[in-house]
Structure 1
Amino acid sequence: MTPANISDHGVGRVYLVGGGPGDPGLLTLRGLECLRRADLILYDGLVNPLLLRHTHAKAERTSRATGPHGRRIDQEEINQRLVDAALAGKTVVRLKGGDPFVFGRGSEEAAALSAAGVPFEVVPGITAATGAAVYSGISLTHRDHASAVAFITGHEDPTKPASALDYQILAGFPGTLVFYMGLHRLAAICESLIDAGKPATIPAAVVCKATTPFQQTVVGTLADLPQRAGDAGLHPPSLLIVGECVQVRDHAEWFEQRPLRGQTIAILRPEEQADSVVDQIVERGGQPLVIPMIEITPPSDWSAVDAMLDRLAEFDWLVFTSVNGVQALFRRLWELGGDVRRLGQARLAAIGPATAAALEQFGLRADLIPAEYRGEALAAALSPLVAGKQVLWVRANRGRDVLPTVLTNAGARFESVVAYENHDVDQLSDADRAAFESGSVDWVAISSPSIARNFSRLLTPASKVRLGDPTRIAAISPVTAEAARAAGLPVDVVASEFTWDGLLQTIAQAPRNANAGRGLLDSGVRTGDVRST
């Protein structure tokens, strides 16, 4: 049977996908499906790279200008890349900011594909106008103020002999005007509307970096908005909204009130574990930056784990101190043809709610979770229950010895098995170095002693990496904070609840640095030229 994305002649398919205006949560379900099936992704500079979490394809950024992310790629070259890749049998996603056909060049790409006989599909996206308006609290068609809305480009094709915009008509338009890509011409646009008869006192707003953690909205009148925007130091991408509907923003603004708004938080845990934390940061209005300090790998030899799987029913307690341990043990059990029936009467202990949730994914419920989510508390909670009992600790290749010491002294017949391995990352990428050294990272969130030690090692003078002001460090627990300080890291805050949720709450409650919210380079997000997994 021929796969749905490959034709009978071996020609692939191209999906022109709208990635939305910035918030990764605004990708459509159809867009998500396309990312998951892609072999190659070409994404433009306005796309949030967090969307690439949903694909294992090779991904390349198509720069609009030569810069730190590579050379400029012209539209004709992009068109040809799409055609060539599809003719080679690949499934290609052209991932574009906003909607492919609203002031994008998706129609040109579609025409090139059609001319080459390449099958394609266009997946609409949330366009910047609706994203910017809704995320800044502006109803473009508020029933009391506007019955129509017009989308207008503020940056026409420079090869046109004359502007296609008639400001007399626009000034008389009975509704809301939205100008795309108009920040560099803001004063000229406002002046032209006023000269054409638009009242100088009509409300207007500029929204920059819409739906991202660095969104900024400036409100004024058509006459004073250019001065206000200049004083605020706004940067593109941006939209200009003109109309009476702007005045309702004071009652409907919501996005810019999120607790982590404008703060970039570096997550140092392994990439495969970062998704849930990324989602929590985005939900709170922050910008996550995943920079793993350790890598998780299977054991170099499964024989010890396999032998222990045959003995699971012998144990009275199985103790898990990480999500990794849960996943490694039970995935291996499944691969070998077994399932949870091997557990017999064994009871389960989890160090915290995240580990307990990992057990739930395998249909298992933790019998014991300590009040404090650390090894000392888990050992204390188990101590009265394990005298004369057989206890198995599912662990990594390295870690503290609190459990074996305390539980053996409590009379347990204690054993452990290494179900996964932690390995330090040896170096930082150039992009990660630049992010740290520029001071564009507001917080470094450290979630384990081993991560703290390796992060400190990578920050040594020999590595030529340093933390730039105003970067601060947050530790998930006192144990992690102690390890960080012992490694020479200045810890600014420690979570009161030893979970990621507790850590992010602590960061949100901390006084803001005066320089916070500047964002990362490249419009607030770090990108790479090529991502391949």
Structure 2
Amino acid sequence: MRIALTQSEGRLAGLQERLEAMGLEVVRQPLIQTQVLQADLKPLSDCRWWLFTSVVAVRALLALGGSLKGRSLGAVGQATRQALEEAGGRVDLVSPDETAEGLAEAFLAQRPFGFVGLPQGNRARPVLAQRLREAGYVVQSVVVYQTQTLPWPTDLPAPDLVLLTSPSGVEALPESVGGQARLLALGPTTAAALSERGLPYTLVPGPSVEAVLETIARIRGEQCPA
């Protein structure tokens, strides 16, 4: 069985080796790439809170010279939380369900004081900013990186499985591949993007290597190795 991994480098670290240990042939074919933009961070300077929806946003802000010192921080997912903490930040909120909607709910449940800054990508969904503004918060959004789709190579062997980790990756997936392979959707927003294209999928229940391995093991009717 051949699986194509479409996530960017650094995400789901160790997955390829674990899949190969399960006997799968792994093809690495990222469908998106990100680029830091020369953004002006001044709109974020008066914001007590900075909320991050991805590791890429954290890295981009740091690359632009942003400092996490003295900020209250929120993160979508444990990987984003880890990136913030490794950079010396103090994370006060983490979305319980790994979504921007979950982070908005967690934030509004506490009703903290202060303006909110959102360092984000050019394809960021507006839901987080909208929810906070509707609740009366002043929100400053700054686009610190852009996401670009990459073409699928015509000479790539046809995969049996394709792991998709973002709506942008779904957008870049060719119809010919999506209609033939079994698609694994990492997270509800990726699943929603596949539904919009009318492509069937299997939802990976969590954004972790273990969740991907367990999903594939179920598909193969096997017990996931420790």
- For the 8 Å contact 1:319–1:348, the answer to whether it is kept is yes
1:431–1:400 Cα change, 3 Å: same
Cα 1:420–1:283 shift into 2, 3 Å: farther
Give matches, 1:181-220, under 5 Å: none
Shift of 1:278: 2.8
Which residue of structure 2 lines up, in the alignment, with residue 322 of structure 1? 54
**Structure 2 partner of 1:486:** 196
Among 95, 120, 124, which residue is 1:395 paired with?
120
Question: In the alignment, which residue of structure 2 is the partner of 1:278?
Answer: 16
Deviation per CA, 1:457-497: give whole Å up to 9, x if none: x22xxxxx44686x311111233112112113221x11222
Q: 1:399 aligns to what SS in structure 2?
A: coil
For 1:277 and 1:442, how far apart are their aligned partners in 2? 17
Q: Is 1:503 equivalent to 2:187 in the alignment?
A: no
Could you tell me how far apart the structure 2 residues matched to 1:359 and 1:276 are? 21
Residues 282 and 412 of structure 1: CA distance in aligned 2, closer, same or farther (over 3 Å): farther
What letter corresponds to residue 368 of structure 1 in structure 2? L
Q: Which runs of 5+ in 1 are unaligned?
A: 1-262, 460-464, 514-533
Which whole-Å deviations, capped at 9, do the CAs of 1:255-283 have from their partners, x for residues lacking one?
Answer: xxxxxxxx432111234646544345345
Supply the AA of the counterpart residue of 2:203: V
Q: Does the 8 Å contact 1:476/1:500 carry over to 2?
A: no
Quote the residue 1:179 is aligned against: none
- 1:512 is displaced (CA, Å) by 4.8
Task: Look at both structures and tell me which one has the larger radius of gyration over its CA atoms.
Answer: 1
Q: 1:506 to 1:419 in 2, by over 3 A?
A: same
For 2:50 and 2:18, how far apart are their aligned partners in 1?
A: 29
Deviation at 1:315, TM superposition (A): 2.0
Normalization by structure 2: what TM-score? 0.85
With the length of structure 1 as denominator, give the TM-score of the two structures. Answer: 0.39
Aligned to 1:304: 40
Greater relative contact order (CA < 8 Å, ≥ 6 in sequence): 2
Give how far 1:418 is off.
Answer: 0.9
Counterpart CA distance in 1 for 2:13 and 2:39 is 31
SS in structure 2 at match of 1:393: strand
Does the CA-based 8 Å contact 2:39-2:144 persist in structure 1?
A: no
SS in 2 for 1:304: coil
Structure 1 pair 321/466, CA: closer, same or farther in 2 (3 Å)?
A: closer
Counterpart in the other structure of 1:351: 76
Q: Counterparts of 2:209 and 2:120 in 1: how far apart (Å)? A: 20
Instruction: Tell me the equivalent position of 1:449.
Output: 167
Contact 2:12 2:209 in 1 (8 A): no
* Gaps in structure 2 of 5+ consecutive residues: none
Q: Kindly tell me: are residues 387 and 271 of structure 1, through their superposed partners in 2, closer, same or farther at Cα, counting changes over 3 Å?
A: closer
Aligned pair count reads: 222
Mapped to 2, the partners of 1:359 and 1:284 lie a distance apart of: 32
Matched, 1:332 2:64: yes
Which of 87, 95, 104 is the matching residue for 1:370? Answer: 95
Give the Cα–Cα distance (whole angstroms) in 1 for the partners of residues 178 and 170 of structure 2.
Answer: 14
* Aligned-pair CA distance for 1:407: 0.9
More strand by share: 2
The structure-2 alpha-carbon separation of the partners of 1:323 and 1:404, relative to structure 1 and needing over 3 Å to count, comes to same
- Of residues 154, 162, 177, the one that matches 1:430 is 154
CA distance in 2 between counterparts of 1:284 and 1:339 reads 42
CA displacement at 1:454 relative to structure 2:
1.9
Q: Distance in 1 between matches of 2:102 and 2:14?
A: 25
CA contact (8 A) 1:267 1:446 kept: yes
Counterpart CA distance in 2 for 1:328 and 1:269 is 18
Give 1:429's aligned amino acid: P
| 8 Å contact kept, 2:118–2:140 | yes
Alpha-carbon distance in structure 2 between the residues aligned to 1:498 and 1:268 = 14
Cα distance change, pair 444–416 in 1 and its aligned pair in 2 (3 A): same
- 2:190 is the counterpart of 1:474: no
Residues 25-424 of structure 1 mapped to structure 2, 5 A cutoff = 263-271=1-9, 273=11, 275-282=13-20, 285-299=23-37, 302-305=38-41, 307-308=42-43, 311=45, 314-333=46-65, 339-340=67-68, 343-344=69-70, 346-386=71-111, 388-424=113-149
Whole-angstrom CA distance in 2 between matches of 1:325 and 1:386:
24
Query: What letter corresponds to residue 304 of structure 1 in structure 2?
Result: D
Paired residues of 1:353 and 1:369 also in contact (CA < 8 A)? yes
SS at match of 2:88: coil
CA distance in 2: counterparts of 1:365 and 1:277, whole angstroms: 28
Q: Quick one: percent identity of the two aligned structures?
A: 29
1:512 and 1:376, CA in 2 relative to 1: closer, same or farther beyond 3 A?
Answer: same
Change in CA separation of 1:448 and 1:468 when aligned onto 2, cut-off 3 Å: closer
Return the alpha-carbon distance in structure 2 between the equivalents of residues 444 and 482 of structure 1.
16
Letter in 1 for 2:215: T
- 8 A contact 2:7–2:32 mirrored in 1: yes
